[in-house]
Structure 1
Amino acid sequence: MAAIGEERQAYAGDADHPLGAYAGAMGVYAAGIAALAAAARLTRRSLPEPTPWDVLLCAGATHRLSRLVAKDPVTSPLRAPFTRFRGTTGPAELDEDVRGHGARKALGELITCPFCTGMWIATGLAAGLVFAPRATRLAAATLTALTGADLLHFLRVRMQQAVGE
């Protein structure tokens, strides 16, 4: 057991880097995948063969939902126990610092990072394609449409700025 503590110290140095909490998060993720696989097997669900359209749809949905969870002002009450508000970073996005130590810090890092939440969201969408494909495609299409609308908003602002220059 002392060797684990020594490795953690050698890796993190003086930084607050909660390796144990990260390992716990990976364990929860792996257990979730195992539970989903067991449920699919028990209910005799066949694995879908995703089309390129499914991949594109899920990519757009994962992008939008991960930004919504990690950066949106409306979802800030979910992040508040783990973060400190610093300001805004762009249109409808907040800048927050992670606070706390151990599991609190690891969870704060997870829910403020769109790249980190994206893995969990994409996994949820994949599970949805196994257990409720029509509802999942509808939800993914809605989120992907929102992603497209966001891109159009940004393009319009850029065009307005170019004309004003």
Structure 2
Amino acid sequence: MPVREEVTTAATETAQEYAGGADRPLGAFGGLMAGYGGAVCAIAGAARLTGRKVAEPTPWDVALCAGATHRLSRLVTKDAVTSPLRAPFSRFKGTTGPAELEEEVRGSGARKAVGELLTCPFCTSLWFATGFAAGLVFAPAATRLAAGTLTALTVSDLLHFARSRAQRAAGE
């Protein structure tokens, strides 16, 4: 048996054993990871080719990008307004809280893998944080403006929740 067939057979068997009968598209997940790795390499290569210096982020940059990453990941994966982005990969199930939707991933293979990514704020956070890091290298002022706006939304959300909780406590 040629080496390629042996590797393919071993990978298929491993994926089936891992999944235990569930639909876990490991190959498609591998493709997403390869795409992420390729994007990081492309960003690093572009920075090197253009002579961009990679400065160490300040604590302010980290805090700003953390708030922005949190808000953007929730916006893309849970917000009703962004549901058209997720619709080809998920099915509406209901709501899970204020302004957030519950969706079920649908399809198989790459469609399911992309659905898992687009409905998981923890999964998308890595991609968005990387985007903000790249932005700080190539367009720091615009990145800080965008990150500041999204971080302000994060703080605003927290204030909305605090006010709502205070109102419920006052009514009890």
Which residue type is aligned with residue 41 of structure 1? R
- For the pair 1:117 / 2:117, whether they are aligned, the reply is no
1:130-161: CA deviation from partner (whole Å, max 9, x where unpaired): 00000000100000001000000000000000
1:146 — aligned with what?
Answer: 153
**In the alignment, which of 125, 128, 133 is matched to residue 135 of structure 2?**
128
Q: Determine helix, strand or coil for the equivalent of 1:16.
A: coil
Which residue type is aligned with residue 138 of structure 1? L
Which residue type is aligned with residue 147 of structure 2? A
Corresponding pairs, count? 165
**In the alignment, which of 44, 61, 69 is matched to residue 51 of structure 2?**
44
1:89 — aligned with what?
Answer: 96
Distance 1:82 1:64 in 2: 21
2:79 — aligned with what?
Answer: 72
1:62 — aligned with what?
Answer: 69
2:9 — aligned with what?
Answer: 2
1:53 — aligned with what?
Answer: 60
Q: TM-score, normalised by structure 2?
A: 0.95
1:155 — aligned with what?
Answer: 162
Distance 1:139 1:6 in 2: 45
Please, which moves more after superposition, 50-59 or 2-11?
2-11
1:102-142: CA deviation from partner (whole Å, max 9, x where unpaired): 00000000000000011000000000000000000010000
> Aligned-pair RMSD on alpha carbons?
0.5
Distance 2:57 2:45 in 1: 20
Q: Determine helix, strand or coil for the equivalent of 2:24.
A: coil
Q: Gaps spanning 5+ residues in structure 2: where?
A: 1-7
Q: Gaps spanning 5+ residues in structure 1: where?
A: none
1:26-56: CA deviation from partner (whole Å, max 9, x where unpaired): 0000000010011000000000110111000
Q: CA deviation at 1:16?
A: 0.2
Q: TM-score, normalised by structure 1?
A: 0.99
